[in-house]
Amino acid sequence: MKGFIRKLKTELSDPVTYQLPLGDQLLDMNAYLGKTLKLAHSGQIQCLNCARPTKKSFSQGYCFPCVKKLAACDMCIMKPETCHYAAGTCREPEWGEANCMIEHYVYLANSSGLKVGITRHTQVPTRWIDQGAIQALPIFKVQTRLDSGLLETTLGKMVADKTNWRAMLKGDVVKMDLKTRRDELLDSLSAALQDLTEQGVAMERLDADVVDIDYPVLAYPTKVTSFNFDKTPVVEGTLMGIKGQYLMLDTGVINMRKFTSYEVEVTA
């Protein structure tokens, strides 16, 4: 089976269901648990947007010209508090309307420990699964990406906004009381949150339930070694688990999202 890969498709189930888009095929990755997999990169990379061949992938699957012109590749995607749609300088205003000027959630998650994050309402619970969170709790709903970024930055003064992917993959993350942590955090930052409200950030505090997420894992690695198709075009080993966007082999782990648009042949 051979084709250009995309990020793993997920569905919240017990455990999470994973499928690997490979060309026009969808491979049921859960079915390969405990089996030997061989992933061979052909050396070909095809831009996710324009489909032109590219020697190097930028922003997880794009060629360089597309990275320079697409709104989806602008710096404000990584730093939503810098969203400049309102300033009239968005690279693609229609894309901004569809993706940034819509409801976003600000949430707490437990991936490698407590973290704060944001996501479009259409990406719940996909975003949490992609980050390998074992728990997630939406705490605010806002109307734009900019507002979610400003709120995340404020909460980020006391909570990490990044996942330690190595710790996440070791599987020793302990469950916590996210609602209590939320209440403590919001109490500590009440003055800063009031300032945001006075600045025009309209936030709706949510009283949601904690979402628990289980992953298809037979055994977690004791030492995390990562594969890179650019350096090791052939990756082989027994599939021991899948978490976040990582395939966890007994020989090492590989972030499939990182290699979006790479042509790969999969042998089981």
How many residues are given for the chain? 268
pLDDT digits (tens, 9 = 90+) for 77-115: 999 999 999 999 999 999 999 999 999 999 999 999 999
Instruction: Kindly write down the DSSP assignment for every residue of 43-108, as one continuous string.
Output: EEEB-TTT--B-SS-BTTTB-HHHHHH-GGGSHHHH-GGG--GGGT--S-HHHHHHHTSS-EEEEE
What pLDDT does 171 receive?
Answer: 86
Which strands sit side by side in the sheet containing 2-4, from one edge to the other? 2-4, 262-267, 36-45, 234-243, 246-249, 252-255
- Cα(144)–Cα(125) distance, rounded to whole angstroms? 19
Mean pLDDT score, 207-221: 97
pLDDT digits (tens, 9 = 90+) for 182-194: 999 999 999 999 9
pTM for the predicted model, two decimal places: 0.95
Q: Which amino acid is at 40?
A: A
Task: Reduce the DSSP state of residue 126 to 3 states and report it.
Answer: helix
Question: pLDDT band for position 13 (50/70/90)?
Answer: very high
What pLDDT does 6 receive?
Answer: 97
- Cα(217)–Cα(112) distance, rounded to whole angstroms? 16
Task: Return mean pLDDT, the chain.
Answer: 96
- Partners of 262 in beta bridges: 45
